[in-house]
């Protein structure tokens, strides 16, 4: 009760001091008007399409349904992507420079570092998240309180990368030796008799500490998908294997894993692509300093902070190119997997 009043009082002070409430009203009004207008336009067009002359009605209706999405995708995604490819072969003034921007990416030491970091991220995050997620899914399968246990690990999936980065920034917080630690990990180090570390500032291990944050976020995803897959393994198969004297370890490797292989591939692929595009974590925790930058972060900095849009474009294209082999592999495995069944 008291807490609520205190809060209201604060809100009132804020309200008196500033134009918070009128401003809020006008902003929410904008959102409301936008949605209402959108609904009205769509509704009106549907109504008109319904009343169109009979001969062309089907065509008019088809256009109404499919054209808005296709136009938006063409103007907002396909055409910009083509322009980005073009820009990656140009300099700042639009002159064609061939592969210069790409040469920079693969020869300039700061840039090669960025590429290597990205490869390290992609090598570690999907494997670690999937392994921990799968192990956890197996451990808690059919256990009491499975739902709650799942929620705990799944929860980080719901929050923003920025929020997760601050949560972990607090875990990694460093105080000089002898002062009371407020970061949990450094406190553990001190308890174990070690010296506190500046986790996020000392390369090359700092990249690994950033990677932990991504693993923390993605494990829940792997766990939920793989847990659903595990529940699809026929009970008879497991039973048959144990009748043959298989240990739970060999049952896991020889029955469960082959059965859920398709799901594992999908999970690894999805996490790999998410990892390639990771930007928020690096930007929030280190801002790309201390040799931690990755392609997605560098793309943003070059294009929108440092005034090097061509280099930014080349980095964006590099991201796209890195995604393609993963997708191709994914499609191939899934296809052969489906044929095997």
Partner 1 sequence: MSAAIAPENVGRIEDTPKAKRVKKRLTSPFATTAAIVIAALWTIPTLGLFVSSFRPERKISNSGWWSVLSPENWGWTLDNYETVLFESGASSANLGTYFINSLVIAIPGTIFPLILALMAAYAFAWIPFKGSSWLFVMVFALQIVPLQMALIPLLRIFNSDWLQISGSYQAVWIAHTIFGLPLAIFLLHNFISDIPRDVMEAARVDGASHTQTFIRIIIPLSLPAIASLAIFQFLWVWNDLLVALVFSGGGVRVAPLTQRLGELSGSRGSDWEVLTAAAFVSIIVPLIVFFSLQRYFVRGLLAGSTKG
Shortest Cβ 231–partner 1 spacing (Å): 11
Nearer to partner 1, 207 or 308 (CB): 308
Q: How far is the CB of 117 from partner 1 (least distance, A)?
A: 16
* Closest CB 271 distance from partner 1, rounded Å: 10
Least distance in angstroms from the C-beta of 179 to partner 1: 9
User: Could you give the dihedral angle defined by the CA atoms of residues 211, 217, 218 and 219, in that order, rounded to the nearest 10 degrees?
Assistant: 100
Minimum distance from residue 96 beta carbon to partner 1 (Å)? 17
Structure tokens, 183: 């970061």
Quick one: 123 or 155, whose CB is closer to partner 1? 155
Query: In terms of CB distance, is 204 or 307 closer to partner 1?
Result: 307
Minimum distance from residue 166 beta carbon to partner 1 (Å): 4
Which of 210/225 has CB closer to partner 1? 225
| Identity of the residue, 254 or 291, whose beta carbon is nearer to partner 1 in the bound complex | 254
- Report the residue number, 100 or 154, with the smaller CB distance to partner 1: 154
Nearer to partner 1, 106 or 139 (CB): 139
Residue 306 C-beta: closest distance to partner 1, Å: 13
Task: Provide the 10 A C-beta neighbour count for residue 277.
Answer: 15
């Amino acid at each position: 009760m008291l807490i609520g009043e205190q809060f209201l009082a604060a809100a009132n002070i804020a309200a008196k001091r500033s134009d918070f409430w009128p401003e809020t009203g006008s902003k929410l009004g904008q959102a409301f008007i936008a949605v209402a207008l959108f609904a009205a336009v769509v509704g009106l067009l549907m109504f008109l399409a319904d009343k169109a002359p009979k001969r062309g009605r089907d065509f008019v209706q088809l256009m109404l349904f499919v054209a808005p999405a296709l136009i938006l995708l063409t103007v907002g995604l396909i055409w910009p992507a083509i322009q980005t490819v073009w820009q990656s072969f140009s300099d700042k003034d639009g002159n064609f420079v061939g592969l210069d921007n790409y040469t920079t990416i693969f020869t300039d030491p700061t840039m090669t570092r960025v590429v290597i970091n990205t490869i390290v991220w992609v090598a570690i995050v999907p494997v670690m998240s999937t392994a921990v997620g799968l192990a956890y899914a197996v451990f808690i399968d059919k256990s009491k309180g499975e739902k709650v246990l799942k929620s705990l690990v799944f929860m980080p999936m719901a929050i923003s990368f920025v929020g997760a980065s601050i949560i972990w920034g607090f875990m990694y917080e460093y105080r000089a030796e002898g002062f009371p630690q407020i970061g949990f990990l450094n406190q553990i180090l001190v308890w174990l008799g070690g010296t506190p570390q500046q986790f996020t500032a000392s390369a090359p291990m700092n990249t690994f500490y950033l990677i932990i944050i991504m693993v923390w976020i993605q494990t829940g995803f792997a766990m939920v998908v793989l847990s659903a897959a595990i529940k699809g393994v026929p009970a008879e198969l497991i039973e048959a294997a144990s009748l043959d004297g298989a240990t739970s370890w060999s049952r896991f490797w020889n029955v469960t894993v082959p059965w859920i292989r398709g799901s594992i591939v999908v999970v690894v692929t999805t996490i790999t692509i998410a990892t390639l595009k990771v930007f928020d974590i690096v930007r929030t925790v280190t801002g790309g300093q201390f040799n931690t930058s990755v392609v997605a972060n560098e793309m943003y900095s070059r294009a929108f902070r440092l005034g090097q849009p061509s280099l930014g474009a080349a980095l964006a294209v590099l991201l796209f190119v890195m995604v393609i082999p993963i997708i191709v592999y994914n499609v191939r495995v899934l296809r052969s997997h489906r044929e095997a069944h």
